[in-house]
Structure 1
């Protein structure tokens, strides 16, 4: 069975990165960490908001390794309407999220990634469909903003790996419980 891997950049107080000024450690360690994560992924799950934001940037970006990855990888976008812009390798999904992802996990292939898409990530976490968390924890307290882990029931995670950058950013890998 395939793994669903949630990747997020968060502040120490749990605020998810969404064009904020508190994250300033995108150095070589960050790129190496991201490369390690995306090399195992064949499919990406995106919410409509993230899709609309990313489709205006990534198709013409040269920021590697993510630009080549996101432009060539199969994207599954959860939406109830057709987006204004098309993006190669995109499948629009109107089926229930949990059913669709549970079925996708049963198919052959590599890992299934979630990058951004906070509401989608929260739904899949609550449903017990996320197998692994790959968190980049910035050495900053953001104070305000959206959080991936908000209002959820207690979940005990298993720490698999810890690394850190020279500037103090943590790269954490956790195994999630796979039942709600």
Structure 2
């Protein structure tokens, strides 16, 4: 699969594969256990997910997400994600051996930044990140995220791990590339690195 155009990428990154994060969020920014607070999933949500994953041919997973998913997705019929996640190479970051037998899984013990930069420099389409809250935060801290696609449910959870916790490196300048509202009130938001390069910009406010 040819790498999508990155004409809006900052200088020095134009030929690199994109790292693309997809995450389900509550209104108060919680990404943990979406099954507990995401009550309505419209057809538009599945279509949005399908558009995001159609350009991805590698997936990065944290160990917690791997352990949570390895017994579910291999036998799931929930599309379009089941076929995608089962057939796509999965790079699982962990210091311990993988205990599952998931198709196309690969243990990664190298530092996150080193492994991801090596993938970016190779051939292929986008590199997806799904679930994996801690891994997403590490990629954001290393300034390696090119796109964020967020499904924001109309629910306030009041507790749980947030995707963007207090103290995360920032501010990070992004450009909104898409937004829509589903019939159930779920927001579908897409962001990309800004034309200024997505660098951290000192706040003047």
On whether the aligned pair clears a TM of 0.5, the verdict is yes
Give the TM-score, by structure 1 length: 0.96
Pair member with larger Rg: 2
**Aligned partner (choices 130, 134, 144) of residue 119 of structure 1:** 134
Using the alignment, how far apart are the partners of 2:17 and 2:199 within structure 1? 15
Give the TM-score, by structure 2 length: 0.84
**Residue 11 of structure 1 pairs with residue 26 of structure 2:** yes
Structure 1 runs not aligned, ≥5 long: none
Using the alignment, how far apart are the partners of 1:50 and 1:131 within structure 2? 21
Q: Which residue of 2 aligns with 1:167?
A: 184
Within 5 Å, give how 1:70-109 maps onto structure 2.
70-109=85-124
**Residue 44 of structure 1 pairs with residue 34 of structure 2:** no
Q: Which residue of 2 aligns with 1:34?
A: 49
Using the alignment, how far apart are the partners of 1:25 and 1:139 within structure 2? 9
Using the alignment, how far apart are the partners of 1:21 and 1:119 within structure 2? 19
> What RMSD, in angstroms, separates the aligned Cα atoms of the two structures?
1.2
Using the alignment, how far apart are the partners of 2:53 and 2:99 within structure 1? 27
**Aligned partner (choices 130, 152, 160) of residue 137 of structure 1:** 152
